[in-house]
Amino acid sequence: MFGGLTRNILQRRTGAFWVGRLWLMMAALLLVTGTAKARTADISLTVIGDERMTEELKDLVKDLDKDQPLSGDSLSLLQAAQARRARIVQALRSRGFYDSRVTATVNNQPIEDSAALDAIEAMPEAQKVDFTFNVATGPVYRVTDLEIKAPPELISYPPLDRSKLSLIPGEPADSAKILATEDEILNTVRGKGYALASVAKREVLIDHATREARVTFVIQPGPVATMGPVSFSGTDKVDTVYLQRRVPFKDGDPYEPAKVDALRDRLTALGTFSVVRLKPATTLNDKGELPIAVELQDRPPRTIGFGVTYETILGFAVNGYWQHRNLFGQAESLRLSAEVNRIGYGAFPGDLGYAFKADFKKPDWWTAGQDGLASLVVSRDVFPAYTRKGINLTVGIDRILNPHWRVKVGVSGEVSEITRYGITTDYELVGLPMQAIWNEADSEVEPTKGYRFTLNVTPYADLRNNNDLFAITRLTGTGYVNVSGDGRSVLAGRASFGTIPGGVNNNIPFDKLFYAGGGGSVRGYAYQYAGPRDAFGNPLGGASVVEGSIEFRQRIFKSFGVVAFVDAGGAYLDNWPNFSQFAPRVGTGVGIRYYTDFGPARLDFGIPLNPQQNDPPFGIYVSIGQAF
């Protein structure tokens, strides 16, 4: 009995011994394998023919380097090179180069041949493998005919405007434009109420003899639809009953794709969701309506952020904020922020400026599309023209009238004391701030085409100083031209005019006058210094202001960009700019942009072209967002 037990123990120990040796051998093998140096490779790309494809193909190869790096064993390198050749061929055909030729070799062996692997293996492991790609684009094939087959009522009444389609006869047979044209045709058909319209057949006939292409779309319209019920899923923080009030249509309304887009925009605008995905049904319900399912994903309700800005003369400013995006479950937002500025300029801490601000927004207050706003600001502003300490409270509404028009109306009250030349004056103001915005730009953060006009009018009453009345009016317009067509080269312009009817008088608080100069005005000049000055060179402010800017924006690489700009303008004592007092100040310069998801980081360097005495020779401006 004990002998059998002894044998079992010995067998287990022996088995454990061999298992342990096996693990040691595997670890040693892995160690030896891991120390083997991986091969690396480069691709030499030469393009003959249409040189415009050179940069596009180089960028394509770089993108592939991220997904499938040119490193590893010999077989991995060869497969990576073959994948790059296939993608290049595909890219050329998608651009209309159907006669293109792509030859790829390694050590004079075509990479499609089995000898290519032997050629790589014959090289020393430390030597970098060089793949040679020679691309001959050949002539581009062009579209000679675009045919749309569909019932006449879909494309004839009113007629489909073919001049607005991406694909026009005579242009290259670009697959991206062909697909874009398909979407444009479908959007037109769906805009007539055919929500389930589809392309039953897309045909591209290539004639190699004439190097021409004929494109045909066969449209299947389906039944006429109306807007259907909307359901929400994925959120457990926002009240879905409230979300139903954000739906911009009623069940049974005529179907329009723009209404679906408006639903997406209204949900995204709340800022409470990281994902907003709309899934229209593939069939109509028994009422002929198209149900829409909305999948949502909540963002973290709280966030904090910090920032730094810099401007010549004003020095550095640091700021931070805390924000809650969904305070009471219906996307109410509260943002608390603070800033300390003029760091590094003047005496510390006596010349520091600061601001503490609380902003509250209640979406859909009283009615859909109308937000209730409230703002409280406590600040100390230290500027060359004056020093101000004050408290401001503003309440109002922000109403979107349609996709292009919005208005803001409010009531403000402020108590302040303003010091100039050592004399301090107290003010108690009540204002009625009003704003109207006409927006035809394609983006709020980074517009590349379109235009925008903003009109601000604010009448004030000074309850402390004889109930003095005055009003501030300013109109600003910006425009954007997409020079390159892809948004990478943009020509932007800005013009602004402001006036205080009645002109400057001693009863108008100095902080309500107009000032020009600085990063958002005339770059190259310090803030407030592009305007009238006293005998000591201090800015006075004016009853009118005029500004204009032209800026060329060019993206380079993926996240960087450069700009060149010319700014002009100034503030004037009269309520209409009097150029006989002095010519508008002009500044020019260049800048760098780093593009992020929340807007570009901006560094501008400007020089004054007609400076006054004691103006600095240049200005540097660092902030977030474009100048306009």
At 156 the pLDDT is 67
Tokens 């179907």, located at residue: 255
Cα distances (Å, whole numbers) of residue 240 to 264, 334, 432: 15, 20, 35
Q: How confident is the model at residue 604 (pLDDT cuts 50, 70, 90)?
A: very high
**Which of these CATH numbers, 3.40.50.720, 3.30.70.980, 2.40.420.20, 2.40.160.50, describes 423-624?**
2.40.160.50
115: part of which helix (H) or strand (E)? helix 115-121
Widest CA span in the chain: 121
Q: What is the pLDDT of residue 158?
A: 61
Mean pLDDT for the stretch of residues 580-598: 92
Superfamily of 142-220 according to CATH: membrane protein fhac (3.10.20.310)
- Read off the pLDDT band of 55 (50, 70, 90): confident
User: Per mean pLDDT, which range of 7-11, 80-84, 166-170 is the poorest?
Assistant: 7-11
pLDDT score, position 542: 93
Stretch 255-271: mean pLDDT: 93
CATH of 39-136, one of 3.10.20, 3.30.160, 1.20.1250, 1.10.10: 3.10.20
pLDDT interval class at 448 (50, 70, 90) = very high
pLDDT for 209-257, tens place per residue? Answer: 999 999 999 999 999 999 999 999 999 999 999 999 999 999 999 999 9
Residue 163 has pLDDT above 70, yes or no: yes
Identify which has the larger pLDDT, 489 or 61. 489
Domain regions of the chain by residue span: 39-136, 142-220, 226-298, 423-624
Distance from the Cα of residue 261 to its chain's centroid: 18
Pairing between β-strand 387-402 and β-strand 405-420 as defined by DSSP bridges: antiparallel
**Secondary element (H or E) of residue 260:** helix 257-269
DSSP state of 172: B
Contact 336, 307 (CB under 8 A): no
Closest CA to 187 of 205, 215, 166: 166
Confidence band, pLDDT 50/70/90 cuts, at residue 427: very high
Please give the pLDDT value at position 522: 96
Same topology between domain 142-220 and domain 423-624:
no
Model pLDDT, residue 194: 93
In this prediction the pTM is 0.73
Task: Round the average pLDDT of the chain to a whole number and report it.
Answer: 89
Of the candidate ranges 56-70, 108-122, 145-159, 580-594, the one whose mean pLDDT is the lowest: 145-159
The mean pLDDT value for 258-273 works out to: 93
Distance CA 264, CA 9 (A): 71
Q: Length of the chain in residues, anyone?
A: 628
Q: Which of 31-40, 189-198, 513-522, 551-560 has the lowest mean pLDDT?
A: 31-40
505-533 pLDDT tens trace:
667 999 999 999 999 999 999 999 999 99
Residue 155: the pLDDT is 67
**More confident: 504 or 601:** 601
> What is the rounded distance in angstroms from the CA atom of residue 182 to the CA atom of residue 190?
12
Please give the Cα distance from 40 to 441 (Å, whole number).
47
Buried/exposed code over 389-414 (b: 16+ C-beta within 10 A; e: otherwise): bbebebebbbbbeeeeebebebebeb
Instruction: Give the mean pLDDT of 340-350.
Output: 82
- Kindly state the helix (H) or strand (E) to which residue 517 belongs, with its residue range: none
So what's the pLDDT on residue 67?
Answer: 75
Q: What is the pLDDT of residue 232?
A: 97
Residue 454 has pLDDT above 80, yes or no: yes
- Give the model's pLDDT for residue 1: 38
Q: Which class does domain 226-298 fall in?
A: alpha beta
**CA 269, CA 275: separation in Å to the nearest integer?**
12
Give, to the nearest 10 degrees, the angle between helix 74-94 and helix 52-67: 140
Torsions phi, psi for 73 (to 5 deg)? -80, 180
Each residue's pLDDT tens digit, 357-406: 999 999 999 988 899 999 999 999 999 899 999 999 999 999 999 889 99
Quick one: pLDDT at residue 503? 62
**In which residue are the tokens 């020779």 written?**
617
DSSP state of 61: H
What b/e readout covers 447-485, taking b as 16+ CB neighbours within 10 angstroms?
bbbbebeeebebebebeebeebebebbbebbbbbebbee
**What local confidence, expressed as pLDDT, does residue 301 receive?**
93
Lowest mean pLDDT among 248-257, 306-315, 445-454: 306-315
